[in-house]
């Protein structure tokens, strides 16, 4: 009987092994199909992002000039245009070359005005056209408010931004 039992089990074991092999062979395409689905979804997401980016309006151009003097003049003109809309006075502007990045000199400005005027100017500098990347800013109280005579707080804003020189490198210089 033991011999007969082994004979009856062999075909069943062969069938189980064959079924296991068929399952393993059939699982390969299923798993690769799942991988393909995830790759298709990732490609669709990239395509959607590319379409959104293409649909957006072009970026704001940076503040550029052919040389350092022209860049400082453009910076000063931009600040004067923005200061004219609020209660802001420009005390001084200067250009500082950066030896590590000669095409991207640092532009410094010192301004006085009301908190609202300086806030509006700072917001316009960072978001308006032409774009200036503000690297540092220092806001201090120049004179406190006086409620008795109706005088607002006078603030001082000193900031440094970057501009782009497309020609010869900038030289240190103050604007008149």
CB within 8 A of 151, min separation 6: which ones? 143, 145
- Output the pLDDT for position 156: 94
Instruction: Decide if pLDDT at 165 tops 80.
Output: no
Domain count of the chain? Answer: 2
The residue range of the domain holding 75 is 64-174
pLDDT tier, 157 (very low <50, low <70, confident <90, very high otherwise): very high
Both 25 and 96 in one domain: the answer is no
pLDDT digits (tens, 9 = 90+) for 31-58: 666 677 788 888 889 888 888 877 776 6
- Measured CA to CA, the distance from residue 92 to residue 76 in angstroms comes to 9
Both 98 and 152 in one domain: the answer is yes
Both 84 and 170 in one domain: the answer is yes
pLDDT digits (tens, 9 = 90+) for 104-128: 889 999 999 988 888 888 888 888 8
State what percent of residues in the chain have pLDDT above 90.
11
Q: Average pLDDT of the chain?
A: 80
Both 70 and 8 in one domain: the answer is no
Both 154 and 86 in one domain: the answer is yes
């Amino acid at each position: 009987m033991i011999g007969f039992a082994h004979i009856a089990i062999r075909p069943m074991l062969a069938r189980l092994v064959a079924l296991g092999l068929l399952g393993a062979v059939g699982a390969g395409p299923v798993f690769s199909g799942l991988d393909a689905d995830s790759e298709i979804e990732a490609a669709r997401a990239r395509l959607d992002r590319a379409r959104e980016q293409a649909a957006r309006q072009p970026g704001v151009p940076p503040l550029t000039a052919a040389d350092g003097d022209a860049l400082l003049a453009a910076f000063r003109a931009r600040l004067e245009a923005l200061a004219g809309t609020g209660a802001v006075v420009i005390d001084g502007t200067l250009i500082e070359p950066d030896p590590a990045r000669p095409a991207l000199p640092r532009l410094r400005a010192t301004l006085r005005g009301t908190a609202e005027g300086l806030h509006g100017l700072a917001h316009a500098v960072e978001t308006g056209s032409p774009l200036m990347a503000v690297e540092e800013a220092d806001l201090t109280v120049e004179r406190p408010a006086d409620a008795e005579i109706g005088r607002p707080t006078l603030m001082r804003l000193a900031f440094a931004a970057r501009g782009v020189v497309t020609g010869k490198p900038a030289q240190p210089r103050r604007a008149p």
